[in-house]
Amino acid sequence: MRALRLYIPFIAAALLCAAGCDDGLDVKPKDPTGGSDTPAATVTEPAACSNKIVAHRGGSAECGQPDNSIASLKYAMSLKLYASECDIYWTKDNDIIIAHADDKYQINGLLPWEHTVAELREAGKLKNGEQLPTLSDFLKTVMVEGNCTKLCLDIKYTSPTDYAVKAVSRACQIIKAANGQNFCEFICTGNTTVAMTAAQCMTVYKIPVGWMANSDPSTHKAKGFTWANLSAKSYMSPYGTRTIDEFVKAGMEISVFNVDKAGSTDGNAVTSDTDVKNYIDNYSKLRFICTNYPSWLKKQL
C-alpha cells in the first residue's frame, strides 16, 4: 500500500498532462457552425504516390483557379501530386478557414479571429464563385476522392501569435475527428512560440510538422523537429546559408519552396535553369518540392 501511495502523485500528473495536450492547449473542441468536426470518412489512407511534388496553393498560378479554393485543390489532385499546400487561420467561432490573408492578416478585409466563418463568407466569395472553404471542406474533398494527394497545411504567422497557436490546435482536433491524420501534414511558421504548439500537436496527434525556421539542424532538433521546410530563395545556398546535405547528414528530412519556371511572380521562388537543375538533381534527398507550377515540374522530373 505504501508503494501505491508513492505512485499516485506521478499517475495524477501524467493524466493531467495528457488531458492538457489533447484539449489543444485550452482551445475547447466545439462545432458552432454545424459542420467543423467532420464525421469519420470511409477512406483514411491516401493511395500510394509516385512523386514528391506539392502544389503551392493548389497550383493556382498554373490552373487559373483561385488559390486555396476547392477548384485548385482538385487540380492538384487531378495531377496525383503528393500534396496541395494551403493556408489556415483560426476563426472567432473556433473553426479553421482556408485562405491566404493579406499583409494585415485580413481575409475579405476582416481579421479572421474577430469574425465567424459565416461573416467571412458573407464579406466576399472567391473569383470563381466558391465560398471560402473550411478545413473540413478540404478534408472531405481529399478523403472522399481517396487518391494520393494530401493536404500540406501552412500554419501562418499572426500578430498576436495566440491566434496561430489556436489555429494549429484546433486544426489537429478537426483532423482527428475526421480520422484524417494520414491525409495531413503541417508546415509551421518559424516563430518559436507557434512552433512549440506545433511540436506538441505533432507528438499528441501524430501529424508530421516541418519547421520553416532559418536555423541549423541542431536548433530544429532541440525544438523537437526532424523535418525542415525552407525557402529555396531566401534560406538555401547560394541565396542563404543552409544546404540540403547538412540536414541529410544530421538525419533530418528537408523540403523546399518554391521551385518555379521562368516568369514566375512568386518572390520566394527560384526560377533559373541552374536552380531548377540543382533541385531536380537533389530530388531523391528531399521530402518534397513545392512549386506554383506542378504540371511543369512533374514534366521536368
Rounded to whole angstroms, how far apart are CA atoms 288 and 221? Answer: 19
Q: Which three cell numbers, joined as nine digits, stand for 271? A: 526560377
- Name residue 134's beta-bridge partners: 97
- Averaged confidence pLDDT in the chain: 88
Range 170-173 contact pairs with CB under 8 angstroms and sequence separation of 24 or more: 170/24, 170/27, 170/29, 170/90, 170/94, 170/95, 170/96, 171/88, 171/96, 171/135, 172/24, 172/201, 172/204, 172/205, 172/207, 173/24, 173/27, 173/29, 173/37
Q: Where are the domains of the chain?
A: 30-300
C-alpha span between 289 and 293 (Å, rounded): 11
* Residue 256 in this model has a pLDDT that exceeds 80: yes
pLDDT at 250 over 60: yes
Please report the pLDDT score of residue 4 as a whole number: 38
Residue whose entry in the numeric block shows the C-alpha cell 466576399: 124
For 30-300, CATH gives: 3.20.20.190
Q: What percentage of the chain carries pLDDT values higher than 70?
A: 85
Assess whether pLDDT exceeds 80 at residue 167. Answer: yes
pLDDT at 147: 85
- For residue 249, the model assigns a pLDDT of 98
Using DSSP, state whether 280 is helix, strand or coil. helix
Q: What's CA 13's distance to the chain center, in Å? A: 32
Q: For residue 18, what pLDDT is reported?
A: 37
pLDDT at residue 180 tops 70: yes
> CA–CA separation, 88 vs 168, rounded Å?
8
Query: What's the predicted TM-score (pTM) here?
Result: 0.87
Please report the pLDDT score of residue 37 as a whole number: 52
pLDDT of residue 29: 38
With beta carbons less than 8 A apart as the criterion, state whether 12 and 5 touch.
Answer: no
Do 96 and 175 contact (CB within 8 A), yes or no?
Answer: no
Q: What are the tens digits of pLDDT across the range 4-62? A: 343 333 333 333 333 334 444 444 434 433 444 544 446 889 999 999 999 999 999 99
d(CA 168, CA 121): 21
Summarize pLDDT for 78-91 with one digit per residue, the tens.
Answer: 999 999 999 999 99
Cα dihedral value 154, 160, 161, 165, nearest 10 = -80
Confidence of residue 146 (pLDDT cuts 50, 70, 90): low
Least confident of 60-74, 120-134, 142-156: 142-156
| Rg of the chain (C-alpha set) | 20
The pLDDT > 90 percentage for the chain reads: 82
In this prediction, residue 130 carries a pLDDT of 98
Strand-strand pairing, 53-55 and 184-188: unpaired
Query: Among 34-43, 92-101, 199-208, which is the least confidently predicted range?
Result: 34-43
Beta bridge mates, 291: 55
Asked if 258 contacts 251 with a C-beta cutoff of 8 angstroms, the reply is: no
Res 198 pLDDT > 80: yes
